[in-house]
Structures are given as C-alpha cells and as structure tokens.
Amino acid sequence: MSEFGKDHALIHEMVVTGREVGAGKEFYAALAHSKELFAKVVAFVAEALRLIFTLAPAIERDMTGWKLVEPEIKSAEDGEFELVLQEFLQDGESYLGGEEMVQRGRKLGANSGLKHIEAIIRNQDKIPVEMRQFCLVSIEVWLDPLVYRYVWYAYWHGGRWVLRCRWLSDSFLSSYRLVVPRKYQK
C-alpha cells in the first residue's frame, strides 16, 4: 500500500472509530486544535491497523515424510510478529525461478517459514483485502516424501485464504510477495 493509501486508511479508520464511540463536532474540533491529542489518536489507530499475528509452538498439520532442509527459521519461536510483504522481482523481470527467489529472499531479509504462513491462515480476518491479489510466500525449503523441494504460501481462493506448497522448479510471478515477519514491538 502506498504512503497515501496508508494515510487515507488511517484517517478513514479515525473517522469510523470516532463515529462508533459517539464523537461529534466537538471531538473533531479538539483534534484540529490539539497537536498532542491528534498525535495520540493517530498513534492509537495506527497501532490498531498493524497486521499482528501469533506463532504457534508447533506446525499444525501432519508432516509425515516431509523434511525441513533450509533454512531453519530462527525467528519462528513462539510470539507475535508483524506481517510485511516484500517484492522480490527486479526491474525488467516478470518471473523468477524458485531457487533464485529463495536466495534473493534471504538477501532481502525474508526469514519466514511454514509457521508464519500457518499463523496468517489462522487469522485471515486480519489480512487486508488489498493483499488478496498476492500469494504470500515463505522462503523456508521443505522436501516432500518424494524428495522434491517446496516452499509454503497462502493465496486467496474461494472466499478464503488457503495454504499450499509450491515446487521450487516452478516460476514465481509478480503476483507473489515474500513474507517478511518483523518481531512485534509495542
């Protein structure tokens, strides 16, 4: 989302929240005349709009026959993280091979794995509508029982977010975004 889009969403959320709690002309007049009050309201609404997800202690699916091979995501400990998406294609590229996407993702700091994608799927009501156009992909590499290399991703399908894995021999298009989890700090 562009900075303009973020500002617009923040102002919209402030107005909606104000209406919900019965704010009238006096409230908005006070906001207009008090930089301190305005800053506090903006900080409160900005915090409410952050995309915060909680990691579970274990992977929530049967992984019999699957093996995590690279990298083991050290940041995938229990706790909260803020979802940030990162473009991995460079100017002039319309796709990238899976292995190269993983390598580039590591350089860009996309230290996400299956636990992150599961956390996003568990709380999909938090994901903004604008993100439905993207596949949210991790860079943690897994081997399936037949020893093919995969990464996990979430995508919007049938009115909900769905978890899938993608073979690294495939191409990753501009509709994919790397999940770059940031440790949540209040």
The enclosing H or E element of 113 equals none
- Residues 6 or more apart whose CB falls under 8 angstroms from that of 167 comprise 98, 148, 149, 150
Q: What pLDDT does 1 receive? A: 47
Structure tokens at 70: 């690279």
Question: What are the mean pLDDT values of the chain's consecutive 10-residue runs (186 residues total)?
Answer: 52 68 75 76 63 76 91 64 92 96 92 91 89 96 96 96 96 96 68
Q: What is the pTM of this model?
A: 0.71
Structure tokens at 71: 């990298």
Q: What pLDDT does 58 receive? A: 76
- Residues 6 or more apart whose CB falls under 8 angstroms from that of 118 comprise 56, 59, 60, 61, 163
* Contact call for residues 35 and 107 (beta carbons, < 8 A): no
66: left (phi over 0), alpha (psi -120 to 50) or beta: beta
What are the strands, taking DSSP E only, across 30-125?
Answer: 52-55, 67-70, 79-82, 85-86, 95-97
The Cα–Cα gap between 31 and 114 comes to 43
Q: What does the domain layout of the chain look like in residue ranges?
A: 3-49, 52-183
Query: What's the CA angle centered on 62, arms 61 and 67, to 5 degrees?
Result: 105
The Cα–Cα gap between 162 and 92 comes to 30
Q: What pLDDT does 78 receive? A: 64
